[in-house]
Every structure is written in structure tokens, then in C-alpha cells.
Structure 1
Amino acid sequence: MGCIGVVNVTSINPYLTRRSNKPYNSRRPSSMAAAIRAESTEKLGITIEKNPPESKLTQLGVRSWPKWGCPPSKFPWTYSAKETCYLLQGKVKVYPNGSDEGVEIEAGDFVVFPKGMSCTWDVSVAVDKHYQFE
């Protein structure tokens, strides 16, 4: 069933009322935005930043990078150069050679794979990504 009409959020939760005559600004205070932004983590040689700020993606020109995609599948891969990518869609578990442990990446992740890494990609949800080799 679709939504019809307007809902008064204060009738649902009275704590959602605005208590100021200042214009509403949907941007979070910078300290909160910084706290929400995930830090980069490194696991098994793969660096992952969850949901990087759009300003970073813009600064790097990520949306103008080439795109690559694949359906659910499993395949070996070796990085002949460092790859930086940003997943638009999908879910993958990457198993570096010599490790029984995998690294899960998904839509919204900004990922760096080191030059020389050999691994197996296990794609569980079709991937669409921007990528750049250095």
C-alpha cells in the first residue's frame, strides 16, 4: 500500500519538532559528519574505506573512471598494477592466495588492491564499479 497524504512527524514522535526559527539545514555538524565517516581499514593487504565522502570521490574524479561489471561468479585474478576502485553495486568476497580468510567488499566501498596481489573473487551479487590502475 502506497503513502497517501502528509504525515505530521510530531504526532509520531514529539521529539522531532524544530525548536528554532533558523532555516533547516540537512547537513550534519562537521564533528558528527566526521564521526559517521568510516575510516580506511586494511585487511590482508586490501584497503577499504566504507562510504567515502562525495567530496573525496569528486576530488579524485572517480565518476569519470572506466566502469567494469560482472554477474555472480568465481574467478582468479592477479593485479599487475595497483587498482583503486569504487563499488556502485554488488557484493564480493576476495580471497588473497595463501589465505583461507576473505575480505568482503560491497556497494559504497572505496577499495585499493596492491600491485602483485593474486586472489580469487567470489561475486555473490553482480558488481558494477569504477576503477583505475596505477
Structure 2
Amino acid sequence: MASSFVGTLLPNHFTQTKHSAVPASRSGAPRRRRVHLATTRAETMTTVIEKLGIKIERNPPESKLTQLGVRQWPKWGCPPSKFPWTYEAKETCYLLEGKVKVFPSGSNESVEIAAGDLVVFPKGMSCTWDVSVGVDKHYNFE
């Protein structure tokens, strides 16, 4: 019975070629079959979530960050802490480091954001930030 090969594409990794044994030929000598998977680079998956008025794009492509000019925006950071905040303007931010639970006022739910997230907070939102891992972020108010 032929052995099977199941390949998995992992972000930023290349697939590999594997040789597998197949049933012996009529002469009794084992035959080898080459199983070749396409050699392609898998891109990191981008996930967009919108919850409680907050839009989160996890793992945005570098091209999007460049297009927005994120690396030119000012930076802000804070240590682990908990504090209230009201957005007087729409804020877009990109977390370089950190982990935060944001609790919008009037809701029993929270939204978690972390390093690698591109986040948009709407103008007028009041919330509480619960920073469990110190934050370092680029930000832009519109």
C-alpha cells in the first residue's frame, strides 16, 4: 500500500519534497515515487475583526503599513496599568508591543488587542484600557 504524504504550508516557510516508498515492482524491487509539493511561500494570514465599534486588523501586510505611513506616526507607550479613556477624534494605531483589554463604556464585553494589531477606535468612544503587558504603539488621530 502506498504511503501518503500530507503537507502543511506554514507562514514564511517553504514546502519540502518527500520521497515515499510504494509497493514493490513485479521484480520485487521497491519502487520510489517522488511526491512534490509546490514550492511557494505562504503569506501570513490577515484577519479583520470589528467588535463593539473597534476595528482590528491582525497581521496587516507591511505594504499596508507603508501605504498608511504608520512608521512615521508618533509613538506612545505605557506600562501595565488600568485607566479610562475617551477618543475625541478617530484614532488608528499599530501596536509594536503589548497586550490590552479594552472595555467600551456601557458594555460587559471587552476587546483584546496585542502586538501586531492595526486598530481603529471611533471618535467619541469612551472606554477603559486594562494594559496587562506594557504598550508601545504608533498612533494617528484624524
- TM-score, with length taken from structure 1: 0.76
Aligned-residue offset at 1:38: 1.9
SS across alignment from 1:58? helix
Give CA deviations for 1:36-63 in whole Å, capped at 9, x if unaligned.
4223110000000001000000111100
User: Given the alignment, which residue of 95, 106, 111 partners 1:98?
Assistant: 106
SS across alignment from 2:66? helix
Residues 47 and 59, structure 2, Cα contact 8 Å, conserved in 1: no
- Structure 2: give runs of 5+ residues left out of the alignment: 1-14, 20-38
- TM-score, with length taken from structure 2: 0.72
User: Given the alignment, which residue of 97, 119, 122 partners 2:130?
Assistant: 122
Hey, which of these two has a bigger chunk of strand by percent?
2
What's the Cα RMSD here?
Answer: 1.9
Number of residue pairs the alignment of both structures matches: 109
Percent identical: 75
SS across alignment from 2:88? coil
* Greater RCO (Cα-Cα under 8 Å, separation 6 or more): 1
Structure 2 distance, partners of 1:49, 1:64, is 19
Moved over 6 A (4+): none
SS across alignment from 2:101? strand
Give CA deviations for 1:4-56 in whole Å, capped at 9, x if unaligned.
xxxxxxxxxxx83599xxxxx8x72xxx43xx422311000000000100000
Q: Output aligned runs, 1:74-85, within 5 Å.
A: 74-85=82-93
Higher Cα Rg, which structure: 2
